[in-house]
């Protein structure tokens, strides 16, 4: 692992110490209170009864008591010391492991606040780590993703980003642009002498290659988004087709109300469900038929919206009922309006299916949600169709954040505009402007270029204590 620019050799500009409980609120075996910043160890030492912490080495653990200002013992603790710059934030850091009760933990935190240490903002530790060059911005974002990850695949993707794989790609792109810019600007310097230094063909090749590589990375976003946010799956079909029953069978809990009165599911119901490492957001619709009922009509409207936003549409047809011409047309209509969105046609209630040989329908699968028939096949099918045509391999890098996608798209636009300028024989200064913009766009991903706004919105997603 390469050393970050600010570690080891350079001194870190340590800020005022901050503190927060770093473990979840609740009862547990232990809880950790973190303190980071200038003179953090000396500060904590004021309330510590045991060895003199200021005389101990980095990366050592010490047993003792935390006392309040009246010198009463608050808790027996273990403190871990980190000297700057060898800590998560790069600053001097103390981690106090105390007993895991809510009150005890809070009491230890209170002692830290009494010492004049300020409460940390959400994500402030990680923000300091970023500012101290401990990680790139895309890595800091990965920390948040990792914390919020709801499935194995989302965790894998966050881990990759945390390892800096995205950053590596972006660095490489930036280098390519810098090389191109150098070629162009060299020519600019000598423009008076009327010398052409830039090899147009070489420049064109470089830019085309870059355009293609950005394209490849952008192509992973669709998958990345599914992995991170889950596959938005909508169940559609006539009332009583068995949508709620299937949802309950998949999720394994009584989440949707199941009745045999048509139109019971008046609103859309969303449920989180994971299968084989992939997260799904299941939406049970109110059905999509025309209705006079106002409340039901609202439900139908929401169902329509859910259908339009879906990543996967599952149409359920009750096999115990004859297929009417109307439903046949409905299905065809849905299939058509689904467009590129994967659409699966499922026959339900196969246990009581009508004995009609030719329904002239091409079902992807016939299931029975009540009897549990073919449910595993359905799960497999859902995963397979959701990821179909998508590049998907747990080892490949995925762009999961819309912020990164936007930046990549902007960079690509600028690269393309430079290519166009080159093609039209424009002067180097035009190209140079485009290339420099592309460079800026990419810089926003790794954090070479940031604004307060970007930083605020990123770090506010963190929990306090991270």
| Cα–Cα dist 59/82, whole Å | 5
Residue 87 C-beta: closest distance to ligand GDP, Å: 54
Q: Are strands 343-348 and 231-236 parallel, antiparallel or unpaired?
A: unpaired
385-424 binders of ligand GDP (CB under 6 A): none
Q: Of 245, 303, 412, 414, which lies in the binding site for ligand GDP, with binding defined by CB under 6 A? A: 245
352 binds ligand GDP (CB under 6 A): yes
H/E element holding 49? strand 48-49
Residues 186-219 as b or e (16 or more Cβ within 10 Å = b): ebeeeeeeeeebbeeeebeebbeebbebbeebbe
Region of 447 (left: φ > 0; alpha: ψ -120 to 50; beta: rest) is left
DSSP E strands in 245-319: the ranges are: 269-275, 278-284, 312-318
258 binds ligand GDP (CB under 6 A): yes
Q: Which stretch binds ligand GDP (CB under 6 A): 10-18, 253-261, 387-395, 397-405?
A: 253-261
Q: What is the DSSP secondary-structure string of 326-389?
A: HHHHHHHHHHHHHTTS-EEEEEE-GGG----S------SEE-BTTTTBTHHHHHHHHHHHHTTT
Residue 406 C-beta: closest distance to ligand GDP, Å: 38
236 binds ligand GDP (CB under 6 A): no
34 annotated ligand binder: yes
Site string for ligand GDP, 319-348 (x = CB under 6 A): -----------------------------x
Q: Name the residue nearer to ligand GDP (CB basis): 348 or 412.
A: 348
Task: Give the sign of the dihedral formed by CA 232, CA 233, CA 238, CA 244.
Answer: negative
299 binds ligand GDP (CB under 6 A): no
378 binds ligand GDP (CB under 6 A): no
243 binds ligand GDP (CB under 6 A): yes
Q: Are strands 18-21 and 118-119 parallel, antiparallel or unpaired?
A: parallel
User: Chain-centre distance of CA 233, in angstroms?
Assistant: 18
Q: Of 35, 81, 104, 241, which lies in the binding site for ligand GDP, with binding defined by CB under 6 A? A: 241
Task: Give the sign of the dihedral formed by CA 284, CA 289, CA 290, CA 296.
Answer: negative
Task: Give the sign of the dihedral formed by CA 333, CA 334, CA 340, CA 346.
Answer: negative
12 binds ligand GDP (CB under 6 A): no
Listed residue (108, 112, 87, 89) closest to 97, CA to CA: 108
Q: Of 260, 340, 357, 453, which lies in the binding site for ligand GDP, with binding defined by CB under 6 A? A: 260
| Cα–Cα dist 112/44, whole Å | 7
369 binds ligand GDP (CB under 6 A): yes
Q: Of 121, 168, 211, 351, which lies in the binding site for ligand GDP, with binding defined by CB under 6 A? A: 351
Q: Which stretch binds ligand GDP (CB under 6 A): 175-183, 189-197, 240-248, 376-384?
A: 240-248
Q: Of 161, 265, 268, 303, which lies in the binding site for ligand GDP, with binding defined by CB under 6 A? A: 265
265 annotated ligand binder: yes
368 binds ligand GDP (CB under 6 A): yes
- What's the token pair of residue 135? 């990680």
Q: Name the residue nearer to ligand GDP (CB basis): 254 or 292.
A: 254
255 annotated ligand binder: no
For the beta carbon of residue 439, count every other beta carbon within 10 angstroms.
19
Residue 267 C-beta: closest distance to ligand GDP, Å: 12
| Cα–Cα dist 414/420, whole Å | 10
Q: Which stretch binds ligand GDP (CB under 6 A): 38-46, 328-336, 363-371, 434-442?
A: 363-371
Residue 244 C-beta: closest distance to ligand GDP, Å: 3
DSSP E strands in 165-247: the ranges are: 231-236
Q: Which residues are annotated as a binding site for K(+)?
A: 240, 259, 261, 264
Q: Which residues are annotated as a binding site for GTP?
A: 240-245, 259-265, 284-287
> What does the binding site for ligand GDP look like in residue numbers (CB under 6 A)?
237, 239-245, 258-260, 264-265, 348-349, 351-352, 368-371
């Amino acid at each position: 692992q390469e050393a970050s620019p600010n570690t080891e050799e350079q001194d870190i500009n340590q800020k005022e110490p901050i503190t927060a409980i770093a473990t979840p609120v609740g009862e547990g075996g232990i809880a950790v209170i973190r303190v980071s910043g200038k003179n953090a160890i000396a500060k904590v030492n004021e309330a510590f009864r045991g060895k003199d912490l200021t005389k101990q080495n980095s990366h050592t653990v010490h047993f003792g008591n935390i006392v309040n200002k009246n010198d009463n013992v608050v808790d027996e603790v273990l403190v871990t010391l980190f000297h700057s710059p060898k800590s998560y934030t790069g600053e001097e850091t103390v981690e106090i492991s105390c007993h895991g009760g809510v009150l005890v933990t809070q009491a230890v935190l209170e002692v830290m606040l009494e010492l004049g240490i300020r409460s940390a903002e959400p994500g402030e530790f990680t923000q300091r780590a970023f500012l101290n060059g401990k990680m790139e911005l895309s890595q800091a974002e990965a920390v948040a993703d990792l914390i919020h990850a709801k499935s194995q695949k989302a965790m894998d993707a966050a881990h990759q980003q945390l390892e800096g794989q995205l950053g590596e790609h972006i660095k490489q792109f930036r280098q390519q642009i810098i090389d191109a810019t150098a070629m162009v600007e060299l020519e600019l310097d000598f423009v008076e002498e009327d010398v052409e230094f830039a090899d147009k063909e070489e420049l064109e090749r470089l830019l085309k290659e870059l355009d293609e590589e950005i394209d490849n990375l952008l192509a992973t976003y669709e998958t990345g988004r599914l992995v991170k946010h889950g596959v938005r799956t909508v169940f559609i079909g006539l009332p009583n087709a068995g949508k709620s029953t299937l949802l309950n069978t998949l999720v394994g809990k009584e989440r949707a109300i199941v009745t045999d009165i048509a139109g019971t599911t008046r609103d859309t119901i969303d449920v989180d469900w994971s299968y084989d490492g992939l997260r799904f957001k299941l939406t049970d619709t109110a059905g999509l038929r025309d209705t006079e009922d106002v409340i039901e009509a609202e439900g139908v409207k929401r169902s329509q919206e859910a259908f339009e936003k879906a990543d996967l549409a599952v149409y359920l047809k009750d096999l115990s009922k004859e297929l009417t011409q109307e439903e046949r047309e409905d299905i065809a209509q849905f299939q058509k309006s689904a467009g590129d969105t994967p659409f699966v046609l499922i026959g339900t209630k196969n246990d009581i299916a009508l004995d009609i040989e030719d329904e002239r329908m091409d079902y992807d699968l016939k299931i029975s949600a009540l009897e549990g028939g073919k449910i595993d096949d359905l799960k497999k099918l859902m995963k397979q169709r959701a990821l179909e045509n998508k590049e998907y391999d747990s080892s490949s890098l995925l762009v999961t954040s819309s912020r990164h996608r936007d930046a990549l798209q902007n960079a690509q636009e600028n690269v393309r505009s430079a290519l166009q300028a080159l093609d039209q024989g424009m002067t180097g200064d035009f190209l140079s402007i485009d290339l420099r913009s592309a460079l800026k766009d990419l810089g926003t991903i790794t954090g070479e270029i940031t604004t307060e706004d970007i930083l605020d919105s990123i770090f506010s997603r963190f929990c306090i204590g991270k």
